[in-house]
Structure 1
Amino acid sequence: MLREVLGANEADRVADWLLAGLELKSTLFHVGEYCGVYQASTGGHQRASFHVVLDGGCYLHVGADGDREASTTELRAGDAVFLLSDVPHALSPSATPPADLSVRTGTMTPLPSAPHPSTSPTAQPFVALACGFFEFRTDLDTLVLGLLPNPIVARRASGRLDGMTQVFALIQAEARRPGETPSPLLARLTDLLFYYALREAVHAEDVAPGMWRLMRRDAFGRLAAAIIESPGERWTTDSMAEFVNMSRARFCKQFTEVGGQPPAHFVTLVRMKTAAALLRAGVSLPDAAEQVGYQSESAFAQAFKRVTGIQPGAWRRQAVNASAQPAATASVAYPLH
């Protein structure tokens, strides 16, 4: 089992595990520019959404929700934000949060064919945006999202991910192509940007409580990596507590407080995600069950349906059918802001 310290390389490996098999699909785009006073949002549609800042800058205001405190984040050209659920939020030119996040003001105008030239500090504030919605194809993907920080903010200026900078440059070029209809490549490019953004989030220091923060802790991070590496081992509460050199009671308390769910739930999620990948690759149900620690095929099927919402056989058939169909980019024509 993996027992070395969970450093940067190991954290990236956990991110790669989360990304493996994640079926993201961007379905709607609206590209344009705001100038002067405005308050924009993709909230209220009961969908995950994103904003990519193509030029200029703005502030993202996210409302409090449950354990999450309200926050304000400055966004600059090249930054992107992915809101993994329909949370109250607004984009504005002011660092002061608006009194009502649901209010929308200002008009989005067509994107100019070229970026704005450098202007004086007294010039009217503006922001050029590519915005839209995205979705994950399966209930299992939705559960995996519970391990991630929300929202995910990717910084072009971080300098850690050259690929993200290159993808952003392609998004800029596609967004400014002439024509009334946004380029269909924008959806695919934003999918790629999300994957890079997730890798960037691994290194964020201000991660909210949840599984992501738990994985960043030395002992728990090594445990999470070990479970991911060997899901078929007998991961009981006692064996996990022994792995991190804690008493059973202390382990359960800390894991649940930091991770937001009991350790057994995490083990089951890892096993079902691994099993889903095996079934997608053509592994038989009995072999998939055994590789993730189940001696009984019926117990495995019950656990798989409880987590994913469908039987493992149906999952396998869906995966085969999906791989045989050509990809399509959907587009829905209604305003986002």
Structure 2
Amino acid sequence: MPTSADIAADWLLSGLELRSTLFHVGRYCGAYRASTAGHQRASFHLILEGACWLHLPERPGRPQRSVRLGAGDAVFLLHDMPHCLTPEPNAPAAAEYATRIGTMSPLNAEPTDGDGLALACGFFEFRSDLGDALNALLPDYIVVRHDDVRFAGARTLFDLIRAETARNGDSPSPLINRLTDVLFFYALRAVASADDFAPGLWSVMQRAEFAPLVNAIIERPGDDWSTHAMAAFCHMSRARFCKQFAESCGQPPAQFLAILRMKVAAEMLRRGASMLNAAEHVGYQSESAFAQAFKRVTGLLPGACRRAHPRHPSAAVH
């Protein structure tokens, strides 16, 4: 059965708008250094056959990393960041990450040395109701392992992707883009449920003392959720509540409350609710104050969010 944390995480992820595009599908043989960096876009690599090493250079606060990827694995790079794929476990020099080596041949070409790498690479764009607030809480990259129990449902997706890449024709199947979208959602859900993903929204949801509060705010966002009221709901003193909440989430309770409220408001606006109705539903009596808070959290004005989704006539919130 899904836990309260799983349900809340799915609710937060429900506002994502995602679009994947396939960049290339093919095979590398011999020496190669492949990368999708430098395009100012998030990207992905799906290992269809063979194995390789993902190298990430050193950056402030993080040492250089090399991760082995095998058939059935995938990596999603959530930002445009320096990286490369090579057949060797040793990382290249920092100045060499941007230098591509090798040529990708068609996928139906047989590997000449038995160590070829079949690869599908592409880019994706995703936007959330929470804007930069969500992006800031996500890791730089997510590795999806084919044998990880958290991704059990994704194995069928990967098999479908591999079957689509094997289809004859000069152009890859457009279904690969849609299947990759779903695979990325699986990856995000796994990250949302990971015990080691902290601080962040989901670390709060996984705390037994805080999960009921999160669900109560989602159900009744317009209630008077002052810091004192939230502490009382959790049966804690105000000082203890603020300390433990901030340690778990990485942000104060008031900021977390604003994120949840604006998520609810964004869903209402997408379904056609007026700005006044959305503002009152999440606890704001002033449209101007609501508009400022909405833009601060989502990066958009309420009117822009509503105009971007004119297809939903109902303003109901579930």
TM-score after normalising by structure 1: 0.80
| Pair 1:45-2:9 in alignment | no
Residue in structure 2 matched with residue 151 of structure 1 by the alignment: 141
Q: Please list, as runs of the form range in 1=range in 2, the aligned pairs for 1:150-189 lying within 5 A after superposition.
A: 150-189=140-179
Query: Residue type of the partner of 2:187?
Result: A
Aligned-residue offset at 1:319: 0.7
Aligned-residue offset at 1:232: 2.3
On the 8 A contact 2:28/2:105 being kept in 1, the answer is: no
C-alpha separation between the residues in 1 aligned to 2:93 and 2:19?
A: 33
On the 8 A contact 2:245/2:252 being kept in 1, the answer is: yes
Query: Residue type of the partner of 1:231?
Result: P
Q: Which of 279, 283, 289 is residue 269 of structure 2 equivalent to?
A: 279
Residue in structure 2 matched with residue 102 of structure 1 by the alignment: 97
Q: Please list, as runs of the form range in 1=range in 2, the aligned pairs for 1:313-324 lying within 5 A after superposition.
A: 313-320=303-310
Residue in structure 1 matched with residue 259 of structure 2 by the alignment: 269
Task: Say if 1:79 and 1:142 are closer, same or farther in 2 by CA, change over 3 A.
Answer: farther
Task: Say if 1:18 and 1:75 are closer, same or farther in 2 by CA, change over 3 A.
Answer: farther
Task: Say if 1:169 and 1:285 are closer, same or farther in 2 by CA, change over 3 A.
Answer: same
Residue in structure 2 matched with residue 331 of structure 1 by the alignment: none
**Worse-matched range after superposition: 92-101 or 181-190:** 92-101
Residue in structure 2 matched with residue 56 of structure 1 by the alignment: 50
C-alpha separation between the residues in 2 aligned to 1:273 and 1:30?
A: 35
Q: Please list, as runs of the form range in 1=range in 2, the aligned pairs for 1:61-100 lying within 5 A after superposition.
A: 61-100=55-94
**Worse-matched range after superposition: 107-116 or 301-310:** 107-116
Question: Percent same amino acid among aligned pairs?
Answer: 55
Task: Say if 1:132 and 1:268 are closer, same or farther in 2 by CA, change over 3 A.
Answer: same
The CA RMSD over aligned residues, in Å, is 3.0
Residue in structure 2 matched with residue 191 of structure 1 by the alignment: 181
Q: Provide the secondary structure at the position in 2 that maps to 1:140.
A: coil
Q: Provide the secondary structure at the position in 2 that maps to 1:304.
A: helix
Higher relative contact order (CA 8 A, sep 6+): 1
C-alpha separation between the residues in 1 aligned to 2:44 and 2:206?
A: 25
| Pair 1:22-2:16 in alignment | yes
- Give the number of aligned pairs: 312
C-alpha separation between the residues in 2 aligned to 1:170 and 1:134?
A: 19
TM-score after normalising by structure 2: 0.84
Task: Say if 1:72 and 1:250 are closer, same or farther in 2 by CA, change over 3 A.
Answer: farther
C-alpha separation between the residues in 2 aligned to 1:52 and 1:290?
A: 45
Task: Say if 1:218 and 1:110 are closer, same or farther in 2 by CA, change over 3 A.
Answer: farther
Structure 1 stretches of 5 or more lacking a match? 1-6, 325-337
Q: Which of 236, 242, 250 is residue 226 of structure 2 equivalent to?
A: 236
Q: Provide the secondary structure at the position in 2 that maps to 1:319.
A: coil
On the 8 A contact 2:16/2:129 being kept in 1, the answer is: no
Instruction: Deviation per CA, 1:14-35: give whole Å up to 9, x if none.
Output: 2211221210111342112222
Residue in structure 2 matched with residue 31 of structure 1 by the alignment: 25
Task: Say if 1:97 and 1:233 are closer, same or farther in 2 by CA, change over 3 A.
Answer: farther
Q: Please list, as runs of the form range in 1=range in 2, the aligned pairs for 1:298-309 lying within 5 A after superposition.
A: 298-309=288-299
Q: Provide the secondary structure at the position in 2 that maps to 1:156.
A: coil
On the 8 A contact 1:279/1:288 being kept in 2, the answer is: yes
